[in-house]
Amino acid sequence: MTVASLAANLPALARRVGRLATDGWTLGALLLALLVAVPVVAVIWLAIAPDDAIWQHLASTVLPYYVQTTLVLMLGVGIGTFIIGTGTAWLVTMCRFPGCRVFEWAILLPLAVPTYVLAYVYTDLLEYAGPVQRLLRDLAGWQSSRDYWFPEIRSLGGAIAVMTMVLYPYVYLLSRAAFLEQSVCVLEVSRTLGKNPWQGFMSVALPLARPAIVVGVSLVLMETLNDFGTVHFFAVGTFTAGIYDVWMNMNSIAGAAQLASVLLLFVLALIAVERVARRGQRYHHTSSKYSTLPSYRLAGGRAALAFVACLAPVVLGFLVPGGVLADYALAHYRETLSGDFWIYARNSLMLSSVTALLAVLIGLFMAYGTRLGGGPVVKAATRFASTGYAVPGAVLAIGVIIPIAALDNALDLLSRTAFGLPVGLLFSGTLFAVVYGYLARFTALSFGTLEAGLGKITPSMDGAARTLGCGPGALLRRIHLPIMRGSVLTAALLVFVDCMKELPMTVILRPFNFETLATYVHQFASDELLEESALGALTIVATGILPVILLSLTIARSRPGHAGAGRPADDVSLEGVAP
Amino acid sequence: MKSGGLHINNVSHAFAAGKPVLNGVSVFVAPGELGCLLGPSGCGKTTLLRIAAGLEVLQVGQVRVGERVVAEGRHGAHVPPEKRGIGLMFQDYALFPHLTVLENITFGLNHAPQRRAWASEALARMGLAAYAGVYPHILSGGEQQRVALLRALAPEPQVLLLDEPFSGLDVTRRASIRAETLGLLKETGVATLMVTHDPEEAMFMADRILVMNDGRIVQDGTPVETYFEPASAFVAALFGPVNRLRGVVRDGHVATPLGTFEAPRLGDGAAVEILIRPEGLRLAWPGGTPEVRAGDVPCKPAPVSGRVASRGPVRAVSARPLGRSSHVVLRVPDGDGRALVIEARVPGVFLPKAGAEVQITVNPRQVYVFPVS
């Protein structure tokens, strides 16, 4: 090829290279999405190829019990969160009573408390030796538990109550958004057609918000299935607790995998329900015209009732546990700090930061890959990778163990046949496995946040910047980076906080004797030493408040038609605040 | 005045093989001129703008700014959009949400302090001085439109492209913002190519209207030419609903229940479609005569049909006031015992009762005869 012909072909060549670069994005996004999805795939694969012997053993022993307990737990938590969530949402959205502006965000506070922490605190308060029963005995002069009846907190009912108290904000958030979105017109129409406010709520507002409520409740149920700390501590036999038992106590990874695959069916059903409901939301959009919502001004007894109805969940789900933990932490911080607290805190911090950084990098790559290369295959792959967030930690942990063990065995075999040198298990039971598990579950968070952020940069903004003299580099520097900065920080924060709280995957995947704040609090609380670990629990709750603040800021600015000065807020994806 | 102007020569484009979006399109807009691409959605207008701006890589044809070739088809030159000197204003304005109004406008000015002064001045002149430091999301649609326009004009482009610049605006504000925009564009002397699907907007803004359909330019002329001398039934119908009649050519004329019209250049026996604009009909009360102007054709029984049968009078079916004009639906007996229902739009208040008799004449300049394809 002569220089002249090369020069003539340069533009075409450049374009071909450009196309390759786009393909690079596609390929990279695809590979990362697959990597994140491997644990989910591993569990699905197990579900398809069950081992009959273990299967029959499980089916004849523990399985029916797990199914029944899990279903009752889901039903109870579902109903509880539905009532508290939609009720408080309707009150703060449509009624005016003292404190309702504060409740708008305060009702979210229990999101900051991990379920297991709430379980430890209430056990501590309500068990036989706890202050509540002691007080009752002192007041009534009872001598022992034979003299009176008191509900047992460490039970299925207790688990339902505890989970309802921290998970209802999901339903609150979604139904509140739905109520706000409803055109005031449809409510006014119902009034002109002779319905009173209560009838309007039941016959118009609630049915219209149904898809949003279904989405909220299915998120709650996914979190219910994910919970390990509470059910393990209460010895309630759900699937998640069962997976851990079968794996740890029966020492059967295959059995645990079988249970995990059944649990996955529950999750897939929930995902299906959620997707269908989300699609339904579009059809329930009543109008794009907004005006100030009518507000029913409450007075006297009604105002007091509304006030108590909104205050109670905040007190029970946040103020009581926060207060108790702060009290214990103050009393015991010297012992705690002189122990291994700093090591555990450093471990948590290190794991969470590394995961947050990686999750943001992977999420960015996937988001840009979808935007630039965006074929249907890439879209499907990134969507599938995002389902990891719905899969319970215990299931994902099993999904991580299996491929990593396979990789280790393959490496060992390779090394032995090639060099005659056994290398043993390289990755199993290492921090690598923990981080991989975290990524499989939480990349969905960063990807979702970053994709939403990127979506705010419309293609015409790119075009406008280009015609105004920006080359591709300047476009990235002057438009994308400044607009994406908020989303990147939000994504990192959400992943960080979720990693700080994570319990089931950490317990199953961590190296021997490696403790994070979450596992340490769980360990101490299980040994009835909540007081000593209160500082750790309080630290987790305090980090958990960060996304709640972000969320309430978003809520404050998200009112349609609300024109606040200053920069537009970054959207915080709802999934970002898993307890 | 700037030298140059925009030359788009013989551009063809397809997104998927075998489905051309543009088919040999040529457009020239002189400096200081405002050309309007008018056509239904999906006819390729926006693609043409994107190709001109360099946001879409040209496949076939050539784009020049003045004498400078900025894009050449078949893998020739492709000057990147930032180096073309072509401004583009998007339909959704695409204001940068993280920059203030003033920062948005000065975004394209890297080393031009005197233009910064221009930006502040222009903001003040448009009544937006108070908004210089705020973020765009608090602006109304009309204010956002003006900021987007100023931003596109700030770097003094030789060519400005406007993609449906008024479609996002309230009807009540549209007229005044249109006039304001036109004034600003004429003042800067930039060659402007604007895309719209609103014929009234095109009439108001354009020096030349380029009607597009199915990826081709089907007519290129002044607004008056385009309105009064449409090149096809498609162009005639762009400007609003028309009465459509069928007929056959005899001796260079075509007879209709509304009168006989010239059909030059069409052979005997050719099947034709006759389009009559509602505003081309003049009405009067019976006894009175409609205001007859030179050249108007009185509506008489058609002699060519040879059956001057029992044609009854033209009667009103309904009439509605529209403010400046009235909309009247009429039944015109066609001589065969049936009747034709046509619509007329007449100035002022003219509201016959249903069934009332009406006198009717036709302005032949608003009657167009095209062969039936």
Report pLDDT digits (tens) over B235-247.
Answer: 999 888 899 999 8
In a domain, B31, yes or no: yes
Least confident of A329-338, A522-531, A568-577, B181-190: A568-577
CB contact under 8 A, A461 and B77: no
In the predicted model, what is the mean pLDDT of residues A546-571? Answer: 56
Average pLDDT over residues A293-321: 88
The answer to whether residues B186 and B315 belong to one domain is no
In this complex, the residue of A456, A468, A563 whose CB is nearest that of residue B108 is A468
Q: Which of A17-21, A194-198, B73-77, B166-170 has the lowest mean pLDDT?
A: A17-21
Residue B364 lies in a domain: yes
State the nearest Cα–Cα gap between B16 and chain A, in angstroms.
15
In this structure, the answer to whether residues B251 and B360 fall within a common structural domain is: yes
Confidence band, pLDDT 50/70/90 cuts, at residue A564: very low
B135 in A contact zone (CB under 8 Å): yes
Residues of B in contact with A16 (CB under 8 A): none
Residues of chain A neighbouring B92 (CB-CB closer than 8 A):
458, 460
Helix (H) or strand (E) holding B29: strand B19-29
Last residue of some domain: B219, B237, B255? B237
Residue B47, pLDDT > 60, answer yes
Please tell me which of A178-182, A398-402, A403-407, B26-30 the model is most confident about, judged by mean pLDDT. B26-30
Instruction: Enumerate the residues of chain A whose CB falls inside 8 A of the CB of residue B151.
Output: 464, 468
Contact A467 B87 (CB under 8 A): yes
In a domain, B266, yes or no: yes
Q: Does B92 touch chain A (CB under 8 A)?
A: yes
- Look up the CATH number of the domain holding residue B221: 3.40.50.300
pLDDT attached to residue A138: 87
Could you read off the pLDDT of B222-236 as tens digits, one per residue? 999 999 999 999 999
Show the tokens assigned to A301: 């007894």
Place of tokens 């379980």: A119
Whether B203 is in a domain gets the answer yes
Cβ atoms of B164 and B49 within 8 Å: the answer is no
Distance to chain A for B245, nearest Cα, Å: 41
B57:A469 CB<8 A: no
Q: How far apart are CA A375 and CA A373, in angstroms?
A: 6
Considering all CA atoms of chain B, what is the largest pairwise distance in Å, rounded to the nearest integer?
Answer: 81
Q: What is the pLDDT, as a whole number, of residue B329?
A: 95
Query: Do B24 and B39 sit in the same domain of this protein?
Result: yes
Residue A420 at interface with chain B, using a CB cutoff of 8 Å: no
Residue with more model confidence, B29 or A57: B29
Q: E-strand spans in A163-218? A: none
Give pLDDT, residue B170: 84
Give yes or no: residues B233 and B249 share one domain. no
Q: Are residues B255 and B328 in the same domain?
A: yes
Which chain A residues touch B90 with a CB distance below 8 Å? Answer: 460, 463-464
Tell me if chain B has a CB within 8 Å of the CB of A560.
Answer: no
ipTM exceeds 0.85, yes or no: no
**B96: chain A residues, CB-CB within 8 Å:** 461, 464-465, 479, 483
Contact between B81 and A566 using a beta-carbon 8 Å cutoff? no
Domain boundary among B237, B265, B297: B237
Per the structure, how many domains does chain B have? Answer: 2
Weakest-pLDDT range from A54-58, A331-335, B160-164, B167-171: A54-58
pLDDT tens digits along A226-266: 888 899 889 888 888 888 888 777 777 777 888 888 888 88
Mean pLDDT to the nearest integer, B247-255: 88
Proportion of chain A in helix, strand, coil states, percent, rounded to 5: 80, 0, 20
Mean pLDDT of B192-202: 93
CATH of the domain spanning A22-46+341-514, picked from 3.30.930.10, 1.20.1090.10, 1.10.3720.10, 3.30.70.1520: 1.10.3720.10
Q: For position B289, what pLDDT does the model report?
A: 58
Q: What is the pLDDT of residues B316-348, one digit of tens each?
A: 999 999 988 999 999 988 777 788 899 999 988
Choosing from B213, B237, B261, the residue where a domain stops is B237
Sign of the C-alpha dihedral computed for residues A539, A36, A278 and A448 taken in this order: positive
The arithmetic mean of pLDDT across residues A174-179, rounded, is: 85
Residue B76 covered by a domain = yes
pLDDT of amino acid B306? 31
Reported as a single tens digit per residue, the pLDDT across B48-81 is 999 999 988 899 999 999 999 999 988 788 898 8
Residue B310 has pLDDT above 50, yes or no: no
**pLDDT value, residue A373:** 66
**Chain-wide mean pLDDT for chain A?**
82
Q: Which residues of B touch A466 (CB under 8 A)?
A: 53-55, 80-82
What is the pLDDT, as a whole number, of residue A159? 94
Interface subset of B 146-185, CB within 8 angstroms of A: 151-152, 155, 157
Same domain, B81 and B205: yes
Q: Is residue B283 part of a domain?
A: yes
Instruction: Identify all chain A residues contacting B155, using CB atoms and an 8 Å cutoff.
Output: 468-469
- Same fold across A22-46+341-514 and A62-292+303-323: yes
Enter the tokens of residue A307.
């006030």
- What residue of B is the nearest CA neighbor of A483? B98
pLDDT of residue B35 exceeding 90, the answer is yes
SS3 B23: strand
Q: Are residues B312 and B216 in the same domain?
A: no
Per the prediction, chain B carries an average pLDDT of 86
Please check whether residues B284 and B304 belong to one and the same domain. yes
Q: Which CATH superfamily is domain A62-292+303-323 in?
A: MetI-like (1.10.3720.10)
Residues B288 and B346 in one domain: yes
In-domain check, residue B96: no
Asked if B55 lies within 8 A of A463 by C-beta distance, the reply is yes
Say whether both B185 and B264 belong to one domain: no
CB atoms B82 and A15 under 8 Å: no
Nearest to A566 among B75, B84, B135 (CB): B135
Q: Tens digit of pLDDT for each residue in A349-381?
A: 999 999 999 999 999 988 888 887 667 788 888
CB contacts of B86 in chain A (<8 Å) are 467
Tell whether B77 is within 8 A of chain A (Cβ).
yes
Chain B residue whose CA is closest to A561: B138
Residue B76 contacts A, CB cutoff 8 Å:
yes
Q: What end-to-end distance do the CA atoms of chain B give, in Å?
A: 45
Q: In the A/B pair of chains, how many CB contacts fall below 8 A?
A: 83
In this structure, the answer to whether residues B262 and B171 fall within a common structural domain is no
Query: In degrees, to the nearest 5, what angle opens at C-alpha A400 toward C-alphas A394 and A401?
Result: 90
Domain extent, residue B350, equals 241-371
Give residue limits of the domains in chain A.
Answer: 22-46+341-514, 62-292+303-323
* A561 pLDDT tier (thresholds 50, 70, 90): very low
Amino acid occupying residue B299: C
Percent of chain A with pLDDT over 70: 87
- Give phi and psi for B329, each to the nearest 5: -100, 135
Q: Domain for residue B91, yes or no?
A: no
Interface test with B, best of A9, A468, A478 (most B CBs within 10 A): A468
Domain shared by B292 and B341, yes or no: yes
pLDDT average, residue stretch B251-256: 86
